[in-house]
Amino acid sequence: MKRMMIILGILFVLSSVSFAQQLGHHAKFPLRCDECHYCKKPTYNEPCLKIAPNFIREGITLHHSVEDAPTLFIIDTLQNKYAPAVFTHRLHAQMGEMLGGCESCHHHNPPGKVQPCIECHKPERQLNDLSRPSLKGAYHQLCIDCHRSWDSDWSKTSDCYFCHPKASEDISQSPKQLAELAKKRHPVPKTPEVYVLKSDYDEAPVVTFYHKQHIFTFGLACKNCHKDNACADCHASDAKTKEISLEHDNCLPCHEKAIDENCEHCHGIEQKAPFNHAKTGWPLKVFHQNLTCQTCHKNQVEFSALNTNCNSCHKANWQSGAFSHSVTGVQLDENHVEIDCETCHLNHNFNAKPQCTECHEDKSFPKDIPGKIIKR
């Protein structure tokens, strides 16, 4: 009996190792199988994958930067009457970054390593499974919408030969032409300062949207708002004259409470001033004014009030000798530089006026400075 249990134990370990190898690297993560697979026991040959599951898991998914992306791919898997297609991968990744990131194309990818399309989409057509297109179908589904929406102003076409050169025009073997394609980059989009828009809300029709502030101060990425846009929204011939519109759905993730309770939070009868932190009752001074909101508010979606006691954020750095007092505008002299913070800042309340009474009966701040005033 004991020998049988040992044999069964060995078989279980071996089968677990084999199964983990088949699943690949994502088997190491705490994922629920039913999020990606519609059957209870997926196998390597029959993975029964759902169509485009959401595979983004914070803390698990590895977010790749555009500059880490491969520059070019030579797609010759489907080579027949055409020459191999040269795909400017990094250029397209830069465009995809604005609209949704890597997952815009790599929709079936497990967390971590980016898998090639052929891992799931096979070259041969499988007409008995229409839920998963062949490799050719997958390529065309990803590319065709953007390329068909191209305007004549781009001087481009969407015919087959734009992506698939004729066999006589094969450039996949030309190092010089490949090097030129590898250099292509999407121009950095200009960031408008502000949009002043008119809505159909008669009582307060004017909506002011500070675009640059939402990016550089509030820390939004392009894809937070533009994930449902198409290239033609910016590149169409009438894009420069087309009305800019803001949908509530774009604003709700961060302003749901404000929008529900107070339309005038966004709407008015004239242009609104940009956000100023002083409106919260706590103006940012020189040491905080260049920080992003997330530095203090962390992962909050709708920013809420924080404890303004300095110790609530600076617990580790508010010790004697670990803080440069000069950033406050006062450089401490030799008589004060070694004193504990709480000697002057009673109860570690750094928002209140410093007190001298712990050591002096005849001195007070700011009449008496424990050092010298310096420019910040």
Beta strand pairing call for 267-268 and 206-209? antiparallel
**150 contacts 233 by C-beta, under 8 angstroms:** no
Q: How many other CB atoms sit within 10 Å of the CB of residue 44?
A: 11
In the block, tokens 């290239």 appear at: 231
Average pLDDT over every residue of 268-290: 86
pLDDT mean across residues, the chain? 77
Tell me if residue 366 falls in helix, strand or coil. coil
Max avg pLDDT among 10-24, 146-160, 240-254? 240-254
User: Per residue in 303-348, pLDDT tens?
Assistant: 888 887 777 777 655 565 667 788 788 899 988 888 888 889 888 7
**For 63-106, what is each residue's pLDDT tens digit?**
778 888 889 988 887 666 778 888 999 988 888 888 777 777 87
Q: Is the pTM above the cut of 0.75? A: no
Kindly list the distances between the CA atom of residue 70 and the CA atoms of 61, 74, 109, 183, in Å, as whole numbers in the listed order: 19, 11, 17, 12
Cβ neighbours, 10 Å, residue 121: 19
What's the chain's length in residues? 376
